[in-house]
């Protein structure tokens, strides 16, 4: 065993496997969302072998069989398979502390589909069906190119009114970026911040005004959790108990609220497209390019590491057929 392994955090051997997994995840300050995802994949691995094989007794063959099954039988996407791999690698490297390398498995197929994009008129129609925080969030998704998870996690401090920009911390791939803050949203967001301040003041009176912060920030700024600047821009209607700490807090709203609202709105106006919250982000990029924005600028606003990801939206524009059918000439 290497010196690195000798100095690694070791889970309590008296704990059950899944409790050991949680202990190590929390020691390394993984997010609660990642904890849930990793635990789910590890349970699926155990279930695949009918809970008859402990991971410490598994080798390359078992892991390869499971990952290949996900691709061939469950037909999961390449991104989902990579998520499973990350969880399994964590289990063997950090919990079992016996890394499994050079695994050979059937890889899931990458889906190179062209993004669904609404026209400007369709966006207007859909937004007209939304109200309240669902409307505000949808405008953010379309007006700033935010991912849904990025939008609901925004905090008061992340809006820069003077420079008309939004600061996104710890986005996809743990990257920070800056995107545009629509001028037309500033008045509404100033009002939203006033609402947040009132909710926060009431929570302080009730003794539960602290908001969740990443562990590193909480250690560096111990009083930040009760500072208005760190409160979520879109707080949930009710307080809840933090499952890790047992502290009563007000989290941000759940994704399902706006997801359901957008789906219902699309059905009402009968858009014959598969519309979701992420469609607004596709529209943001496509409409910017159609209006003459440089692709490098769009790449930066979208937070794409690779320009090829942004170039997909050029294909969307190219698929629009700007020719007149000969049938129309008969009239």
**pLDDT by residue (tens digit) across 71-80?**
999 999 999 9
Q: Which of 56-70, 110-124, 165-179, 231-245 has the lowest mean pLDDT?
A: 165-179
325 Cα distance to chain centroid: 42
Q: Which of 17-31, 166-180, 240-254 has the lowest mean pLDDT?
A: 166-180
For the chain, percent of residues with pLDDT exceeding 70:
94
Q: Cα(203)–Cα(225) distance, rounded to whole angstroms?
A: 12
**pLDDT by residue (tens digit) across 95-145?**
999 999 999 999 998 876 789 999 999 999 999 999 999 999 999 999 999
Torsion sign over Cα 178, 184, 185, 186: positive
What is the pLDDT averaged over residues 284-309?
Answer: 94
- Name the residue with higher pLDDT: 206 or 329: 206
Predicted model pTM: 0.81
Q: From edge to edge, which strands make up the β-sheet containing 177-180?
A: 159-160, 165-168, 177-180
**pLDDT by residue (tens digit) across 136-145?**
999 999 999 9
- Name the residue with higher pLDDT: 10 or 112: 10
Whole-number pLDDT of residue 173: 61
Whole-number pLDDT of residue 2: 47
What is the pLDDT averaged over residues 298-319?
Answer: 90
Q: Is the pLDDT of residue 278 over 90?
A: yes
Q: Is the pLDDT of residue 54 over 90?
A: yes
Q: Which of 89-93, 120-124, 178-182, 218-222 has the lowest mean pLDDT?
A: 218-222
Q: What is the 3-state secondary structure (H, E, C) of the chain?
A: CCHHHHCCCCCCCCCCHHHHHHHHHHHCCCCHHHHHHHHHHHHHHHHHCCCCCCHHHCCHHHHHHHHHHHHHCCCCCHHHHHHHHHHHHHHHHHHCCCCCCCCCCCCCCCCCCCCCCCCHHHHHHHHCCCCHHHHHHHHHHHHHCCCHHHHHCCEHHHEECCCCEEEECCCHHHCCEEEECCHHHHHHHHHHHHHHHHHHHHHHHCCCCCCCCCHHHHHHCCCHHHCHHHCECCECCCCEECCCCCCEECCECCHHHHHHHHHHHHHHCCCCCCCCHHHHHHHHHHHHHHCCCCHHHHHHHHCCCCHHHHHHHHHHHHCCCCCCCHHHHHC
Buried b (16+ CB within 10 A) or exposed e, 44-60: ebbeeeeeeeebeebee
Give the catalytic positions in this structure: 147, 172, 278, 281, 304, 313
Q: Average model confidence (pLDDT) for the chain?
A: 91
Domains 3-95 and 120-317 are alike in CATH topology: no
Whole-number pLDDT of residue 1: 43
Domains of the chain: which residue ranges?
A: 3-95, 120-317
Whole-number pLDDT of residue 32: 86
Q: Is the pLDDT of residue 325 over 80?
A: no
Q: Is the pLDDT of residue 6 over 80?
A: no
- Name the residue with higher pLDDT: 3 or 109: 109
Q: Is the pLDDT of residue 20 over 90?
A: yes
Classify domain 3-95 at the CATH class level.
mainly alpha
120-317 maps to CATH 1.20.120.160:
no
């Amino acid at each position: 065993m290497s010196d690195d392994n000798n100095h690694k955090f070791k889970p309590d051997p008296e704990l059950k496997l899944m409790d050991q997994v949680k202990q190590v995840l929390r020691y390394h300050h993984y997010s609660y969302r990642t904890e849930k995802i990793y635990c789910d994949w590890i349970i699926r691995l155990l279930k695949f072998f009918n809970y008859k094989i402990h991971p410490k007794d598994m080798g390359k063959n078992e892991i390869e069989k499971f990952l290949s099954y996900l691709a061939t039988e469950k037909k999961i996407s390449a991104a989902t398979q990579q998520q499973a791999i990350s969880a399994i690698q964590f289990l063997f490297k950090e919990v079992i502390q016996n890394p499994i390398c050079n695994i050979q498995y059937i890889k899931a197929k990458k889906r190179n589909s062209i993004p669904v994009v609404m026209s400007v008129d369709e966006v207007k129609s859909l937004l007209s069906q939304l109200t309240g925080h669902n409307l505000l969030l949808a405008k953010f998704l379309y007006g700033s190119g935010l991912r849904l998870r990025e939008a609901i996690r925004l905090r008061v401090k992340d809006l820069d009114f003077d420079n008309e920009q939004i600061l996104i911390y710890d986005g996809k791939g743990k990257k920070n970026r800056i995107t545009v803050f629509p001028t037309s949203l500033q008045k509404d967001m100033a009002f939203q911040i006033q609402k947040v301040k009132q909710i926060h003041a009431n929570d302080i009176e009730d003794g539960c005004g602290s908001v969740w912060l990443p562990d590193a920030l909480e250690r560096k700024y111990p009083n930040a959790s009760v500072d208005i600047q760190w409160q979520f821009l879109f707080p949930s209607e009710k307080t809840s108990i933090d499952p890790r700490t047992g502290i009563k807090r007000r989290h941000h709203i759940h994704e399902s609220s706006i997801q359901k609202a957008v789906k219902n709105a699309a059905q009402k106006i009968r858009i014959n497209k598969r519309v979701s919250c992420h469609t607004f982000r596709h529209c943001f990029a496509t409409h910017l390019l159609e209006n003459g924005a440089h692709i490098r600028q769009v790449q930066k606003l979208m937070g794409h590491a690779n320009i090829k990801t942004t170039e997909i939206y050029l294909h969307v524009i190219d698929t629009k057929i700007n020719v007149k059918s000969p049938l129309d000439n008969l009239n």
